[in-house]
Amino acid sequence: MKAKIGAFPYSSGMEALRCYAFIIPAVVIFGIFYIYPFFEIFNLSLRDWNGIDLHKTYVGFDNFRELFHDRIWGQSLLNAGFITFIALTLQNMLALALALACDRDIRAKNFYRVVFFIPPILSEVVVGFIWRWILNAGSQNGEYYGLLNYALSKLGFQNLAHNWLSNPDSALICIALVHSWKGFGWGFLMLLAGLQTVDKQLYEAARVDGAGSWSAFKNITLPLMMPVIWVVMILTVLGSMQVFVLILSMVGQGLVYHTEVPVTRILSAMTGTNRFGYACAMGVTFGAILVGVSVAFRALAGKMKPA
């Protein structure tokens, strides 16, 4: 324990109390605003409660049973899964490609690094509205006025122009793409930081041994980068499954069934139908799913570690 060297020895109870004073503000806030809701959500998930009545009827696992047969809930999980799938593949592949492209002596490297991280620092509300405006598809005199549709018709693809965000088929895809647009800069920076720790002499050695760039990538870069890649993947899954502000700002509540994700379900169970117990049951179930997924990812990551 390094800390011992500079640590105060505590001899009496008074001394220990003085030490506790340091952590009390943090512990109190954390206890009230995190720990209490953490346990309360399990309690509420077993009750039928409209948020106002004094009495919260205990209903056992009824909420969970109902949730199991809730088709919109199932659909919302699938929707979030779709967004996550796009983020895992497209977004992370793009992030890796950009990181590889930037991991060298090139000009304007810092410029790229700064620019790629602009979308991640914007709020989901802002990103949602900007893209809603670009994808917007109201029409005047039979002509679409959204920028994307305008560009499509100028390029001669008039027949592709349509209502991107109110069409059930394209709305979710648009959301997933915008989500990836907002997120790739994250993965890019983390992967680039990882790449820069790879010893360049390894590449030199591989080249002397006659390895091509693909085999250098496969045999040196990828294995050494796997830990970082796993972290990026886990963070992508956790972030993408819980996306919802972007959906609120891009399509609002317009397309209920098609763009519903678990968190919007929780929100509407709570504020829409005032079923607080049911909302908590959703939260608990969804939390368990997320924990399960991230444990599975971590296990996979451990298994794939080179022995």
Partner 1 sequence: MAKLNGNWNYYQWADCGKGFGIHSFLLIVALTCLFPLFWMVRSSLMSMDTIFADTALIPARLHFANYVQAWVDGHFGIYFINSVIYTASVVSGIVFIASLAAYAFSRLRFPGRNFFFYVFVLAMMIPLPGSFVPLYVMMNKLGLVNTRFGYILCMINLGLSMSILLLKTFFDKMLPDLEDAARLDGCGRLGIWWYVALPLARPAIAVIVIFNALNVWNEYILAQLLLNDPSLMPLQRGIMLFQGVYSVNYPVLMAGLTISVIPILLVYLLMQKHIVKGLSSGAIVG
Q: CA end-to-end span of the chain, whole Å?
A: 29
Taking CB under 8 A as the criterion, which residues in 92-131 touch partner 1?
A: 94, 97-98, 100-107, 111-119, 121-127, 129-131
Query: Is 157 one of the binding residues for partner 1 (CB under 8 A)?
Result: no
Query: Is 14 one of the binding residues for partner 1 (CB under 8 A)?
Result: no
Residue 52 DSSP symbol: S
Query: Is 234 one of the binding residues for partner 1 (CB under 8 A)?
Result: yes
- Taking CB under 8 A as the criterion, the residue among 181, 224, 226, 301 binding partner 1 is 181
Query: Is 290 one of the binding residues for partner 1 (CB under 8 A)?
Result: yes
Question: Cα–Cα–Cα angle for 229, 231, 235, nearest 5°?
Answer: 120
Q: How far is the CB of 192 from partner 1 (least distance, A)?
A: 9
Which residue shows structure tokens 């009545």? 53
- Taking CB under 8 A as the criterion, the residue among 73, 164, 175, 194 binding partner 1 is 194
Q: How far is the CB of 172 from partner 1 (least distance, A)?
A: 19
Query: Is 156 one of the binding residues for partner 1 (CB under 8 A)?
Result: no
Q: Which alpha helices (H) appear in 31-142, and where do they start and end?
A: 36-45, 62-68, 71-86, 92-102, 109-116, 118-121, 124-135
> In this structure, what are the phi and psi dihedrals at residue 48, rounded to the nearest 5 degrees?
-110, 115
In which region does residue 187 sit, left (phi positive, over 0), alpha (psi from -120 to 50) or beta (all else)? alpha
Query: Is 69 one of the binding residues for partner 1 (CB under 8 A)?
Result: no
Query: Is 90 one of the binding residues for partner 1 (CB under 8 A)?
Result: no
Residue 172 or 285: which CB sits closer to partner 1?
A: 285
Counting DSSP H helices and E strands in the chain, the numbers are 16, 4
Question: Cα–Cα–Cα angle for 283, 285, 286, nearest 5°?
Answer: 65
Applying CB under 8 A, which part among 40-48, 67-75, 157-165, 168-176 lies near partner 1? Answer: 40-48
Query: Is 60 one of the binding residues for partner 1 (CB under 8 A)?
Result: no
Does residue 105 sit in helix, strand or coil? coil
Closest CA to 77 of 233, 252, 240: 240
Query: Is 71 one of the binding residues for partner 1 (CB under 8 A)?
Result: no
Residue 99 or 169: which CB sits closer to partner 1?
A: 99
Question: Which residues make Cβ contacts (< 8 Å) with residue 51, sequence separation at least 6?
Answer: 270, 274, 276
Number of residues forming the site for partner 1 (CB under 8 A): 114
Q: Please, is 213 exposed, middle or buried when counting C-beta atoms within 10 Å of its C-beta (0-12, 13-18, 19+)?
A: exposed
Query: Is 296 one of the binding residues for partner 1 (CB under 8 A)?
Result: no
Query: Is 51 one of the binding residues for partner 1 (CB under 8 A)?
Result: yes
Query: Is 297 one of the binding residues for partner 1 (CB under 8 A)?
Result: no
- Taking CB under 8 A as the criterion, the residue among 222, 291, 296, 304 binding partner 1 is 291
Residue 28 or 169: which CB sits closer to partner 1?
A: 28
Query: Is 223 one of the binding residues for partner 1 (CB under 8 A)?
Result: no
- Taking CB under 8 A as the criterion, the residue among 50, 57, 213, 219 binding partner 1 is 213
